[in-house]
Structure 1
């Protein structure tokens, strides 16, 4: 008898983790910035999900379930953190990185995305943000791979048009 089966460890969970680990780790990295904390977050979420794996009837929703577990875990960690302040006479000399341009770019992108339909936004998010393949995106949306490709093509064209309209397109995109 297989030791794993005897211990009640579902082999399909092990296969799922092997197959989706990189994508799940990317999600964890978006939730916490430190790479080691992201690995801890993912491991904690996987351990919590393993305990409930048999209760997930539709395994195609496992990614969504795991994302929710990661978000809840990160929130728990945030609430539980203890901030220790040590009073000093002088403040340390440190430089702070300026993320103003990054925040402005993100705000501009979010504003430009408003011109898209909900279907176009979800295709962009799944394909480019979550880095799902065409096939994974098609399965997640319940449409054909061809529909995903054509929607993605039209969506990117629409985003380019909107950026040009706002004079935000990069110089290399405007041509000679």
Structure 2
């Protein structure tokens, strides 16, 4: 099978999962598409060297993480166009957090590395050792990122809802 056919089959078969992973990291569909595209371009350049026992997906995911973590914060990334200006009230804020997309807003409060750890741990269900390997850090660093990320998320939830911290479960059943 040719390199081009292998690459095309990989993209066709795994692009949905890669896009989901990228969206969980970025919280923005357009940025997620850019992230997947950048990682696939880099993978295509090295395709013959990365196809091995594990397959190309771990390489592509690691590339996505590295690109995501290295993106410089640009003002345009933080700007979000809206049709109408929202009214500012405490009731509206509490209502929005109660909606289904509240977690994305909470995830956006995290810095890049802790957000990557939360996504990998609770959405991709990877063990700390695999997360450490992907991020190129120690397992203890992964645990520290997770600890601080969950602490921050719990504080935001407690502030908005006035909920007792102990009553806020950790995602995926982990504490």
TM class, shorter-length: 0.3 to 0.5
What TM-score comes out, normalization by structure 1 length? 0.43
Identify the structure with bigger relative contact order (alpha carbons < 8 Å, sequence gap 6+): 2
